[in-house]
Amino acid sequence: MPQGLETIIQVVLALVGAYAAAFWFCLVVWTFRDIQQRSRDVVVQVLATALVLLFNVPGLILYTILRPPETLAEAYARSLEEESLIQDIEERQSCPGCKRRVQPDFIVCPTCRARLKQPCASCGRLLQLNWRVCPYCGVDVAAEAPSPSTSTRVHA
């Protein structure tokens, strides 16, 4: 084999080897960064990185199959969204009689006519039926409470 061809083959092999080493190193770094975004468990991070470190591309394929489906940031955003939806559902007021949605300033349910709130005799502000004292003016509401027959239904 001529000396020039042998040198060219050595250079090409050195470049291919350097590329393969750089590619392998990049896979390990990418895996380490990715697993850090997906898990707080240090043991899982080490095992995932070691899997790619030892087995290269087949290790990366196994890692992508086994890794958690969402990042910690995505899981946090999803939990915030769920919490917001739950809070929104809890804040909605509904009629105790027919369970339909009612506005916060309704005194009577427009569907079943169940009494939802009562006006304060002193200041006129709307009060929950179970309140004993008006929180706006301090008047004792329990002494002025309507009879049980009128507190559940309003007659048309």
**43 and 99 in one domain?**
no
Threshold 0.85, pTM exceeds: no
- Say yes or no to pLDDT of 151 above 80: no
**50 and 14 in one domain?**
yes
Distances (CA, A) of 31 to 19, 52, 71, 76, 107: 18, 7, 13, 21, 60
Please state the domain count of the chain. 2
The reply to whether 78 falls in a domain is no
Nearest-angstrom CA–CA distance, 34 and 105: 51
Domain span holding position 103: 93-156
Q: Residue 56: which region, alpha, beta or left (left: phi > 0; alpha: psi -120 to 50)?
A: left
Specify the pLDDT at position 147.
47
**156 and 97 in one domain?**
yes
Burial of 120 (0-12, 13-18, 19+ CB in 10 A): buried
Please work out, in degrees rounded to the nearest 5, the angle formed at the alpha carbon of residue 30 by the alpha carbons of 26 and 32: 120
Residue 114 CA, chain-centre distance (Å), reads 36
* Residue 89: how many other CB atoms lie within 10 Å: 8
pLDDT in tens, 58-82: 999 999 999 999 999 999 999 999 9
**69 and 38 in one domain?**
yes
Closest CA to 147 of 106, 115, 123, 125: 115
pLDDT in tens, 83-118: 998 887 777 788 888 988 888 889 999 999 999 999
* Torsion, CA 142, CA 144, CA 149, CA 151, rounded to 10: -70
